[in-house]
């Protein structure tokens, strides 16, 4: 039986680890030809090799116009088309707003917002020339609930939700644009924040109705759905996958 993404070509920014890697694996398992991205070409190629013969790696800094073009062109060069583009590359900054430097602010905004604009524009241009495609952005529950000491991250993710809606309205019907808003996920990023004493995963699990944080592959299913024909009439939406976090209510102490 063929997969839900059989014959599709998907490029995923920031897909060498974490949620992006889980999405790449899920797409490959559903039959897609996957373009893996990292800033480092060797890393992207290594991960693509692990996914199998239907995958290639592209090293590119997607915060630049040249990098965004390189990733999209990499898909076109390898497979002749681009059906799905996932904006997953991102970074978090945790710390008091009064202590945040302009450089720290700019670093978050550049990767979490500007890269989404650059890559989406490049992908939509390519998709529109051949009849359409799908763009999926990675937002966060922090787009909807205020988390102290996360000013740049929360602001950037709230912007991604609005960017998703505007792009969807502008580019319909040829290009569908949606977003996924994960809650807390077991990734290298959350592990680092916990090790630095800036995140208490036990407390997070305790106030999440599901009683735990998510594994990356549990988030990836939402991307597969949005990329597939099952979501053919879904655009401009943000799918929250948070184990009930927002339904329970935000707690500013975490």
The residue extents of the domains of the chain are: 9-185+216-239
Q: 1 or 223: whose pLDDT is higher?
A: 223
Select 9-185+216-239's CATH number: 1.10.260.40, 3.40.50.720, 2.30.40.10, 3.40.50.300.
3.40.50.720
CA distances (Å), origin 71, targets 76, 85, 130, 135: 9, 10, 18, 14
Q: What is the pLDDT of residues 124-177, one digit of tens each?
A: 999 999 999 999 999 999 999 988 999 999 999 999 999 999 999 999 999 999
| 3-class DSSP assignment, residue 238 | strand
Q: Residue 55's pLDDT band (boundaries 50, 70, 90)?
A: very high
CA distances (Å), origin 214, targets 4, 24, 102, 206, 238: 23, 17, 32, 13, 18
Reply yes or no on whether the pLDDT at 1 is more than 80: no
The reported pLDDT for the residue numbered 189 is: 78
Calculate the average pLDDT of the chain.
Answer: 94
Window from 37-46, 49-58, 118-127 with minimum mean pLDDT: 49-58
Considering the chain, what percentage of its residues have pLDDT values greater than 90? 84
Distance of alpha carbon 166 from alpha carbon 104, whole angstroms:
27
The reported pLDDT for the residue numbered 106 is: 98
Q: Residue 194's pLDDT band (boundaries 50, 70, 90)?
A: confident
Catalytic hit among 153, 184, 223, 251: 153
The reported pLDDT for the residue numbered 188 is: 81
**Known catalytic residue at 225:** no
Considering the chain, what percentage of its residues have pLDDT values greater than 70? 97
| Confidence (pTM) | 0.94
Q: Residue 254's pLDDT band (boundaries 50, 70, 90)?
A: very low
The reported pLDDT for the residue numbered 250 is: 52
The reported pLDDT for the residue numbered 222 is: 98
> Which are the contacts of 223, defined by CB distance < 8 A and separation ≥ 6?
23, 26, 27, 86, 136, 180
Q: Is 31 exposed, middle or buried (0-12, 13-18, 19+ CB in 10 A)?
A: middle
Residue 56 preceded by cis peptide, ω within 30:
no
The tokens of 83 are what? 């059906």
If you average pLDDT over residues 30-45, what whole number do you get? 97
The reported pLDDT for the residue numbered 164 is: 98
């Amino acid at each position: 039986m063929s997969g839900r993404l059989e014959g599709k070509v998907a490029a995923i920014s920031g897909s060498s680890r974490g949620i992006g890697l889980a999405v790449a694996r899920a797409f490959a398992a559903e039959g897609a030809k996957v373009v893996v991205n990292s800033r480092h070409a060797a890393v992207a190629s290594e991960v693509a090799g692990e996914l199998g013969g239907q995958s290639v790696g592209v090293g590119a800094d997607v915060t630049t116009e040249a990098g965004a073009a390189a990733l999209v062109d990499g898909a076109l060069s390898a497979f002749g088309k681009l059906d799905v583009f996932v904006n997953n590359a991102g970074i978090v900054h945790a710390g008091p707003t009064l202590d945040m430097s302009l450089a720290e602010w700019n670093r978050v905004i550049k990767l979490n917002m500007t890269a989404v604009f650059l890559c989406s524009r490049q992908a939509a241009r390519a998709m529109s020339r051949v009849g359409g495609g799908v763009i999926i952005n990675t937002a966060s529950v922090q787009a909807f609930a205020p988390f102290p000491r996360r000013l740049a991250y929360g602001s950037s993710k709230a912007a991604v939700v609005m960017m998703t809606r505007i792009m969807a309205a502008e580019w319909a019907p040829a290009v569908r644009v949606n977003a996924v808003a994960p809650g807390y996920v077991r990734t290298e990023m959350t592990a680092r924040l916990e090790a630095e004493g800036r995140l208490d995963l036990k407390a997070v699990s305790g106030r999440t109705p599901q009683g735990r944080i998510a594994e990356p592959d549990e988030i990836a299913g939402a991307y597969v759905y949005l990329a597939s024909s099952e979501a053919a009439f879904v655009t401009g939406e943000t799918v929250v996958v948070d184990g009930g976090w927002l339904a329970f209510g935000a707690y500013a102490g975490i």
